[in-house]
Amino acid sequence: MALEQELRRAIEEGADGRLKELIQEPHPADLARVFPSLKLAQQVKILRLMDPERAAQVLVELGREQVPPLVEGLGPLRIADILATLPTDDAVDLLGDLPREQKDRLLGLMAAADAKEVRELLEYPQDTAGGIMTTEFVAISERLTAEEAIRVLRETAPDAETVYYVYVVNERGQLVGVLSLRELILAAPGMLVGDIMRRRVISVNVMADQEEVARVVAKYDLLAVPVVDDNQELLGIVTVDDVLDVIKEEAAEDFLRISAIDVRGDDVTAPPWRRAMHRLPWLVAFLLGEMMAATVIKGFAGTLEAATVLAFFITAIAGGAGNAGTQSLAVVVRGLATGELNAREILRVVWRETRVGLLVGLGSGLTLAFVALVWQGWPLLGLVVGGALAASILVATMLGSMIPVVMARLGFDPALASGPFITTLTDVASMLVYFSLATLTILHLR
Amino acid sequence: MALEQELRRAIEEGADGRLKELIQEPHPADLARVFPSLKLAQQVKILRLMDPERAAQVLVELGREQVPPLVEGLGPLRIADILATLPTDDAVDLLGDLPREQKDRLLGLMAAADAKEVRELLEYPQDTAGGIMTTEFVAISERLTAEEAIRVLRETAPDAETVYYVYVVNERGQLVGVLSLRELILAAPGMLVGDIMRRRVISVNVMADQEEVARVVAKYDLLAVPVVDDNQELLGIVTVDDVLDVIKEEAAEDFLRISAIDVRGDDVTAPPWRRAMHRLPWLVAFLLGEMMAATVIKGFAGTLEAATVLAFFITAIAGGAGNAGTQSLAVVVRGLATGELNAREILRVVWRETRVGLLVGLGSGLTLAFVALVWQGWPLLGLVVGGALAASILVATMLGSMIPVVMARLGFDPALASGPFITTLTDVASMLVYFSLATLTILHLR
């Protein structure tokens, strides 16, 4: 906040010297946070006062809607300088979100070799290893000596984003080993790289999903993972900072998706009507699903007329079953994501939740039966609402576990089986159970 | 799967040589995955055949319930060897989850200096910077020359988990700067570390929440962050691999919490009754909340008896409002977690969702009104159910946004305002709206 005010004051007072000082200190990520509250002209002014490398780092941190007007505002010469300082993966991220025409224009401003590399990277889908990798890595031949390798590193390293792992390739460019910088430095100078390297290298295919890449990096505690094509040829690396972003992005996606929210549509910066337009189709679809529950209740209109008291418990039974179903859904979607549950073991997953559903159904059913009995003083009613809730919860946990695991088995994202979807289904099921039970007992025994 | 079968066969055939070969190859994380499907005696046998360092890496990857019996099975001598190979943060993780008596016994087996360090680390709460940091880091004095510093590193580095950053301290042990290994190697040998280091070091306080640590590491793309006390004295570092675990853990926690699931209670390995016991209290609490909705409906029993048709739409209205409320909740909890929404701007956050609620309420209300009109052929009924749904959705989005942001403001985790909690509240509100509206119109106009 303080930074924002100081920046604004310096701009308004035309104190360029002071402004230049102010923007030297903070981390680019901190400056980027302030940007949305500044006017475009002010943003452009700040970026122009920075050296290109720093400006590039700020641009990379900005949201995708913020970049295009800034690119226009900065002008081609300045942008060319900025692009030249970016590692390829960051350049790809920056360009990937721009409108086609602007993207082509910027590619034209880049050095031919860089532009070619970026163009190739842009070909990979954004959510694959190829889409998030950088081509700036360090690879040496297995035939070099340790001493030669260190010299090569000294010469090429300033260009590489990370030198924490040194990858070793054979004469065909295939990944054959890996070394740490430390292992190389501690080795006897005359030893061959091929003899000191570790041969077991964990790598990912260039078309692997970014979630898979993140899983590998997290599982093996890597700082970077090499990316290879089907021929084992080394194409790039994915670094842990990009993996952190992927993990956060995927977690946000699952989190919203399970509440039937589209993460791309519900950007906090989007205007209300656009966010509403992303939610409405889901809500209307669930509403039409609820009309099935309405049809069920209408089917039992006779029972309801004979005992209006049944209507009092509709939300308790539907809500209770919906809550239990949502819980099972969350546990199963999470378990599938972490790999603790296996989509191929559908029956096992459903059975695990069904047993829990039986127990919580019994507990909830007894509670509701008791409350209804005390409240209305009618034992049969207690039996009906309690029994209906217990049975509905059982059905709900089965649906809440079966639907995501079947979706995962069919290759869909299990989180698409959202809580509202499960709730709508359980509403239909619980009304059917409730009014059937009521008709069988109350109507006939009364 | 293949590994599991091979391991089992080798153990059953008593082919120790073959077994020893089999366990040399895979990554410790892969071996740990197989462990739950093996018998305890088989697990112990495998760990005994490994060298202590590898055994330690497998132990670290295991779940917290799996470790205590293995510690017993391996016996004190073997465990002492294993503990000696672990970096302090991993030793703390391993010991932190053990029963008190076993923990003390293991601390007694460690070298005195290590045990002291681990004991100190165990003092910090597990979810703070102190609880996840390691004390094995590289720190050098600002008064060394580059050449001296490299010699110090060569001597101490084998002990340090990561040497990607070299921290610089003054004579009082206070963190004053940072260097990369590469900067040190490329510097002129005679230069003073104090003159080549970068003075702006991002650090975290030892008592900082682990979520805060993760945010810092992710924001600044760090591989490790130094941990200091209130005096700026350097105590340890948190590495990016531990931060990855924190981010995944916190995401899982939020994900389950929003569906009213306790992440510690719903461990996939726990037996069904224990998992049920963790869910039941929540479900019963919501059920008692639903009794308020039941009381509301009972209050309008006269209206309901005059028009049973009103009962048909109860789940549609309650469900529709619950879904919209859950969506707002998810968006707000997510926005607060990422920092895109600010808990101090309660009104702004609620107003953002309220506008969306107005729009989706109108859209959903019109849909339901139309469906009801076509289905029942009664314009007034369409008006009542449509109007009730629109108003309920509006209320639901307000509740779904206000409750988490107020909770965050008061210092609670906003995800504790779970979907089921919001759904229960909106059930009460929507029934009140629905039957009030119906009473005002249908009952009086009929």
Using the Cβ of A143 and the Cβ atoms of chain B, whether some distance falls under 8 Å is answered with: no
B428: pLDDT strictly greater than 90: yes
Query: Is A425 or A33 the better-scoring residue by pLDDT?
Result: A425
Using the Cβ of B109 and the Cβ atoms of chain A, whether some distance falls under 8 Å is answered with: no
- Chain A contacts in chain B segment 173-192 (CB below 8 A): 181-182, 186
Report DSSP state, residue B441. Answer: I
pLDDT digits (tens, 9 = 90+) for A85-128: 888 888 888 888 788 888 888 888 888 888 888 888 888 998 89
pLDDT value at position B60?
A: 86
Q: How far apart are CA A413 and CA A343, in angstroms?
A: 11
SS3 for A232-289, per residue? Answer: CEEEEEEEHHHHHHHHHHHHHHHHHHCCCCCCCCCCCCCCHHHHHHHHHHHHHHHHHH
B202: pLDDT strictly greater than 80: yes
Residue range A139-256 forms a domain whose CATH class is: alpha beta
pLDDT band at A237 (very low <50, low <70, confident <90, very high): very high
Distance from CA of B261 to the nearest CA of A (A): 6
**Mean pLDDT taken over chain B:** 88
pLDDT band at A76 (very low <50, low <70, confident <90, very high): confident
Q: Which of A316, A293, A322, A296 is nearest to A418 (CA)?
A: A322
Amino acid at A334: R
pLDDT value at position B308?
A: 92
Which residues touch A2 (CB under 8 Å, ≥6 apart)?
none
Q: Please name the member of A295, A334, A359 whose beta carbon is closest to the beta carbon of B272.
A: A359
Tell me which chain B residue has its CA closest to the CA of residue A200.
B25
Q: How far apart are CA B12 and CA A159, in angstroms?
A: 54
Q: Are A224 and A256 in contact (CB under 8 A)?
A: no
| Cβ-defined contact of B157 to A182 (cutoff 8 Å) | yes
pLDDT value at position A1?
A: 55
For the stretch A3-29, what's the b/e string if a residue is b when 16 or more beta carbons lie within 10 angstroms of its beta carbon?
A: eeeebbebbeeeeeeebeebbeebbbb
Q: What is the average pLDDT across A32-48?
A: 87
Lowest mean pLDDT among A282-296, B60-74, B352-366: B60-74
pLDDT value at position B158?
A: 55
pLDDT digits (tens, 9 = 90+) for B139-169: 899 999 988 988 888 777 655 545 668 899 9
Q: How far apart are CA B98 and CA B118, in angstroms?
A: 14
pLDDT digits (tens, 9 = 90+) for A410-426: 988 888 888 899 999 99
In percent, the amount of chain B with pLDDT more than 70 equals 96
Q: How far is CA A314 from CA B48, B292, B293, B312, in A?
A: 60, 12, 9, 10
pLDDT band at A445 (very low <50, low <70, confident <90, very high): low
Tokens describing residue A117: 């590399």
pLDDT value at position A84?
A: 87
Q: What is the average pLDDT across A420-436?
A: 95
Q: Are A205 and A227 in contact (CB under 8 A)?
A: yes
- Helix A314-338 vs helix B272-299: crossing angle, to nearest 10: 150
pLDDT value at position A397?
A: 96
Domain ranges of chain B: 2-123, 139-256, 272-445
Q: Please name the member of A294, A338, A363 whose beta carbon is closest to the beta carbon of B280.
A: A363
Report DSSP state, residue A443. Answer: I
R_g over Cα of chain B: 30
Lowest mean pLDDT among A110-114, A189-193, B206-210, B221-225: A110-114
Q: What is the average pLDDT across B197-201?
A: 90
Half-sphere exposure of B10 (CA within 13 A, CB side): 21
Greatest CA span in chain A, whole angstroms?
98
**Could you tell me the fold of the domain covering B2-123?**
MgtE N-terminal fold (1.25.60)
Q: How far apart are CA A92 and CA A94, in angstroms?
A: 5
Tell me which chain B residue has its CA closest to the CA of residue A297.
B312
**Residue that is written with structure tokens 């290994």 in the block:** B181
Q: How far apart are CA B354 and CA B88, in angstroms?
A: 50
pLDDT value at position B446?
A: 55
- What architecture is domain B272-445? Orthogonal Bundle (1.10)
pLDDT value at position A229?
A: 94
Own/partner long-range contacts of B31-37 (Cβ < 8 Å, ≥24 apart): B31/B3, B31/B58, B31/B61, B32/B58, B32/B61, B32/B62, B34/B3, B34/B4, B34/B7, B35/B62, B35/B66, B36/B63, B36/B66, B36/B269, B37/B4
Using the Cβ of A331 and the Cβ atoms of chain B, whether some distance falls under 8 Å is answered with: yes
| Neighbouring-strand partners of residue A140 | A168
Distance from CA of B341 to the nearest CA of A (A): 8
Q: What is the average pLDDT across B13-33?
A: 85
Lowest mean pLDDT among A265-274, B89-98, B117-126, B419-428: A265-274
Q: How far apart are CA A34 and CA A43, in angstroms?
A: 9
Q: What is the average pLDDT across A245-256?
A: 86
A160: pLDDT strictly greater than 60: no
pLDDT value at position B445?
A: 66
Other CB atoms closer than 10 Å to residue B370's CB: what's the count?
Answer: 12
Q: Where are the beta strands (DSSP E) in B202-280?
A: 204-205, 224-228, 234-239
- Helix A52-61 vs helix A40-49: crossing angle, to nearest 10: 140
pLDDT value at position A243?
A: 92
Q: What is the average pLDDT across A273-286?
A: 91
Q: What is the average pLDDT across A273-277?
A: 89
Highest mean pLDDT among A59-63, B155-159, B254-258, B324-328: B324-328
**Which of B200, B312, B423 to probe the A interface (max A CBs under 10 A)?**
B312
Residues of B in contact with A309 (CB under 8 A): 298, 301
Lowest mean pLDDT among B3-7, B240-244, B359-363: B3-7
Q: What is the average pLDDT across A133-143?
A: 87
pLDDT value at position A157?
A: 60
pLDDT value at position A13?
A: 83
pLDDT band at B92 (very low <50, low <70, confident <90, very high): confident
pLDDT value at position A280?
A: 92
- Chain B contacts in chain A segment 379-438 (CB below 8 A): 389, 393, 419-420, 423-424, 427, 431
Tell me which chain B residue has its CA closest to the CA of residue A248.
B247
Q: Say what the ipTM of the complex is.
A: 0.78
Q: Give the N- to C-terminal CA distance of chain B in Å, as an integer.
A: 70
Q: What is the average pLDDT across A256-274?
A: 79
